[in-house]
Amino acid sequence: MVETQRPGGLATKTGSPGPSRSPATATAAQLIKLVEQGIGLVSDGERADLRKRLDQTLRRLRDPNVRVIVVGEFKQGKSKLINALVNAPVCPVDDDIATSVPTVVRHGDPASAFILLPQADTDPGDDEKPERQPIRINELAAYVSERGNPGNAKKLVAAEVFLPRKVLAGGLTLVDSPGVGGLGSTHTLSTLTALPSADALLLVSDASQEYTEPEIRFLRQAMRITPSVVGVLSKTDLYPEWRRVAELDRGHLAQVSPDIPLYPVSSDLRLEAARLQDTELNAESGFPGLIGHLRKEIVGKAERLQRRSVSQDLLSVTENLRLSLQSELGALEDPEGTPRMIAALEEAKSQADELRKRSARWQITLNDGIGDLIADMEYDLRDRLRRIQREAEAAIDQGDPGPTWTQFSKWLEECAAAAISDTFVWTSERAQWLAAQVAEHFSEDEVALPALRVSDAGDALDPVDDMPGLDDGRINPMQKVLIGMRGSYGGVLMFGLLTGIFGMALINPLSVGAGLLLGRKAYREDKEARLKRRQGEAKALVRRQLDDVTFQVGKQLKDRLRLVQRSTRDHFTEIADEHHRSLADSVTAAQKAASVYRLEKDMRVRQIKEELKKVDAVHHAAELVAAEVAQSSTAVQPEAGPTAEGRTAGMAAAATDSTAGSPTAGSPTAGSPTAGRHSTGPAQAGTAQAVAAGR
C-alpha cells in the first residue's frame, strides 16, 4: 500500500537528478519503489491487465541483463580478457587449446556454475528451455575448452558462471565465444546468430598486427545486427609497437564506422595488478578505460533504455487509471454533460476495438509482412544453397570425388555456413524493419486516451498532449522481441544442428574392397562406369545434405520470425486491450455515477479526488524520470531512437529502390513483399550506410 510513502517526497527524490547524478544502483532501487507503488495503485482496482504489465516491468528491473558478447579470431585472448575484467580465472586459458562452448559470465552470489544442455525430446523450436545442470566452477575447463570437450562433442548449448563481482553488478553479462577463425566457418555462423540477443560486442584482436581482412569482413557483417561495437587491442604488454598497431587499427575502424572506440589493454598486467594490489599497474593495463566505457556507455545506455521503458509503462498505466476515475468524477460533478461524455467515450471505445481486430492496419502489415518475409527468406536460402549445389556438382564432375571427399565436405560446410550467415543477417534486418513499420502503423491509428477536464464542462473530451521531446516508448517493440529472444539460445542451437548434419557418412574411397568380396565384380566393371557411379553417389549426397540444411535452417529461421511476429502482436494487442478496457471501465463508471445519491456522491467525489492525487503523484514521478532520460540521452549521445529511425529510413530507401516500378509500391506493405530479394547486395549496402549515418 501507498500510505508508507509520501507521494510528494518520492517525486522530488526520483525526479530531481541533482548536479552529480546519483549512482545507477540507487536510481534502480528508486525505480523499483516507484513501480511497486504503481502496482499498489493497480491492485486497488480490478485491472489485472495493468498489474501484469507492471509485474513484468518490475521483474526486468530486478534482474537487469546487459549482454556483451566477446568475439574475435581464436587465440586473441578473449577468455583471458574476461578473466581480467572480473579478476578471476573463470574461463580456461591455454597456449594452444581454444574455447569450444560459449560461456556466459554474470552476477550472482555465491559463485556458481552451470552447463546448459538442449532437451533431447523437444523440437528445436522457439520456447525450448535448455536443461541446467550445476557443476563445480573449477571443472569448467572440462566442459568449455577444446581439450575437455573437443568440437563441443558433449553438445552443450552454453555454460553459465555466476560471480559476486562489482563490475557485473549493474547487470553486465559477458559472453565468451569460440573464436571465429576466418569468415565462412561454422563458428562465425554461431557467433552471428547469437548477436541479436547481445547489447554490444567486443571485438578482440591482439597487438601483434593490424586488423586482417577476415576480421574487418566479420565486423561489417556483425554491425548490421548489433551496431554497438567496442574494439579491444589485447596483449599490449608483449608488443613494444602496440601504439603503432592501435593507430593503424583506429584507421581501419574509422573506415567501417566513425565512432567505434578502441581500447588497448593487457590482461596479464591487470591480473598481476590484482595479485599485487597495485593500482598503478592496473591503470597501466588499460582496463579502467574499458570498464569505464562498458559501465557508462553500454550499461548506461541499456539503463537509460530501461528507465525510459519503465517510465513509459508507468505513464501509460496511470493514464489508464486516471481515465476511469476522471470519467466518474466528471459524471458526479456535472450530471448534465454525462450523456455527451458517454457517447464520446463509446465512440473512442469502438475505435479502440477496431485496433484489436485482425483487420486493423497494423495487424495486416504484420501478418502480411511476416508471411512475405518467410517466403523471401526461404527463397533466398534455397537460391544461395542451390548455387552452392551447382558449383559442387561441377567440381564433382571434374574428377574422382573419393580421394578429396573430406576436404570437399569441409568446403561444402563452409560455403553453406557462409550462405546461411548472409541469409540470417539479411532476415534480421528485414525483421527489425518490419517491426518498426508495424509500430508506425499502430501509432498512426491508435486512439489517444482522452483526458477529462473537469473544470471546463464545455468540451468533455480532449486528447492528451504528448510529452514534449519524448518519443513514444511503445514504438520500440524490437526491444521487447529481443528481450524475448535473450533466453532462447536459438543461435547456439542452430550451430549444433549444422554440425550434426555434416557429420554424416562419407564416401569411402576404398569401397571397392567390398566389391572384391562380392566375387570381384567391381573389378570387372568398366573403370569409367565405376567413376560415373561414384560421382553420382557424391552428387546425391550433396543434394541430400543441402536439402537437409535448407529444411532445418529454414525451420529455425521461420521459428525465429514467428517469434518476432508473436511478440510484436502480443505487445500491441496488450496495449489495445488496455485502452479498450479503460474506456469500457470509464463508460461504466460514468453510468454508475448518474444513479448515486447526494450524500454518497460527496463522499465518492472526495474518494476519487484522493485516489486521483495518488495516481497523479506517480504519473508526475514517471514524467520526471522520462524527462531526465530524454535529457541525458540528448546530452550524452544520439540514442536508440535516432538509430532506429536511421535504420528505418535506410530500409525504406532500400525497399523503394528495389520495388521501383512494381505496382504495389506505396501500399501499406510496400517494400516488404518482394523487396530486395534479388538486389540484396545494393539494398543491404544502402542500409548499412543509413545505419552508419543514423548513428
Partner 1 sequence: MSTSISAGVADLLQDALAVYSDDPVAVASLQAYATRLSEPLRVAVAGMVKAGKSTLLNAIIGEEIAPTDTGECTRIVTWYRYGHTPRITLYPAVGEPRILPFKRVDGRLVFVLGGSRAEDVERLVVEWPSQGLRELTLIDTPGIASLSGDVSARSTEFLTPADAPSEADAIIYLMRHLHASDLRFLESFRDTEAGRSGTVNALAVLSRADEIGAGRIDSLLSAGDIAERYRRDHSLRKLALGVVPVAGLLAQSARSMRQADFESLRLLSGLDRSERERLLLSTDRFIRATVPEGLSAEARASLLERYGLFGIRLGVVLIRSGFDEPTRLAHELARRSGLDPLLDLVARQFQARAEALKARTALVGLENLLRSVPREGAGGLAVGLERVQANAHEFRELRLLATIRTTGIPLSNELAEEAERLIGGWGAAPGIRVGLAPETPPEEILAEARSYLKRWRTVAENPLTDRAALETCRVVTRSCEGIVAEFSALQLQRQ
Q: Which residues bind partner 1 (CB under 8 A)?
A: 73-75, 95-96, 181-182, 184-185, 208-214, 216, 235-242, 244-245, 248, 252, 266, 268-269, 272, 281, 284, 402-404, 406-407, 410, 414, 509-510, 512-513
CB 439, CB 432: distance < 8 Å: no
Q: Smallest distance, Å, CB 24 to partner 1?
A: 32
Minimal distance, residue 417 CB to partner 1, in Å: 11
Task: Report DSSP state, residue 196.
Answer: G
> Least distance (Å) from partner 1 to the CB of residue 691?
22
State how beta strands 200-206 and 131-135 pair.
unpaired
Q: Which is nearer to partner 1, 203 or 366 (CB)?
A: 203
CB of 405 to partner 1, least distance (A): 9
Angle of CA points 553, 186, 654, to nearest 5°: 60
Provide the 3-class DSSP secondary structure of residue 213. helix
In degrees, to the nearest 5, what angle opens at C-alpha 437 toward C-alphas 436 and 438? 90
Residue at 552: amino acid letter:
Q
Euclidean distance between CA atoms 312 and 472, whole angstroms? 8
Residue 302 to residues 17, 53, 306, 481, 585: CA-CA distances in angstroms? 18, 20, 6, 15, 36
CA distance 677 to 666: 18
3 state SS of 67: strand
The candidate with the shortest Cα–Cα distance to 434, out of 644, 578, 662, is 644
669 and 365 Cβ atoms separated by less than 8 Å:
yes
Helix (H/G/I), strand (E/B), else coil: 60: helix
Nearest Cα neighbor of 161 from 95, 205, 231, 102 is 102
Nearer to partner 1, 271 or 593 (CB): 271
Q: Which is nearer to partner 1, 594 or 685 (CB)?
A: 685
> From the CB of 284, what's the least distance to partner 1, in Å?
7
Q: Which is nearer to partner 1, 184 or 231 (CB)?
A: 184
CB of 498 to partner 1, least distance (A): 16
Residue closer to partner 1 by CB (options 126, 284) is: 284
* CA dist list (Å): 593 to 43, 325, 362, 405, 605: 22, 11, 36, 83, 10
Task: State the maximum Cα–Cα separation within the chain, in Å, rounded to a whole number.
Answer: 112
Of the pair 245, 675, the CB lying nearest partner 1 is at: 245
Nearer to partner 1, 272 or 574 (CB): 272
Nearest 5°: CA angle at 581, between 578 and 585?
A: 140
Q: How far is the CB of 686 from partner 1 (least distance, A)?
A: 22
Report in angstroms how near the CB of residue 251 gets to partner 1 at its nearest: 10
CB of 493 to partner 1, least distance (A): 23
**Contact at 8 Å (CB) between 285 and 84?**
yes
Name the amino acid, one letter, at 684. Q
- DSSP states of 303-325: HHHHHHHHHHHHHHHHHHHHHHH
Residue 396 C-beta: closest distance to partner 1, Å: 15
Query: Residues 575, 579, 582, CA angle at the centre, nearest 5°?
Result: 135
Q: Minimal distance in Å, beta carbon 36 to partner 1?
A: 50
We find the least distance from the C-beta atom of residue 237 to partner 1, in angstroms, to be 4
Q: Which is nearer to partner 1, 184 or 554 (CB)?
A: 184
Q: Are 559 and 126 in contact (CB under 8 A)?
A: yes
CA dist., res. 41 & res. 86, Å (int):
41
Residue 191 or 236 having the CB closest to partner 1: 236
Q: In which element (H, E) is residue 572 found? A: helix 527-594
Least separation, in Å, of the C-beta of 510 and partner 1? 6
Element (H, E) at 51: helix 48-62
In the complex, the smallest distance separating the C-beta of residue 255 from partner 1, rounded to whole angstroms, is 9
Nearer to partner 1, 282 or 658 (CB): 282
What is the 3-class SS of 342-384, one letter each residue? HHHHHHHHHHHHHHHCCCCHHHHHHHHHHHHHHHHHHHHHHHH
Query: Cα(first)–Cα(last) distance of the chain, in Å?
Result: 44
Q: Closer to partner 1 at the Cβ: 223 or 564?
A: 223
Q: Which is nearer to partner 1, 2 or 522 (CB)?
A: 522
Grid cell 572506440 in the structure block, residue: 261
Which CB atom, from 337 or from 509, has the smaller least distance to partner 1?
A: 509
The residue among 510 and 660 lying less far from partner 1, judged by its C-beta, is 510
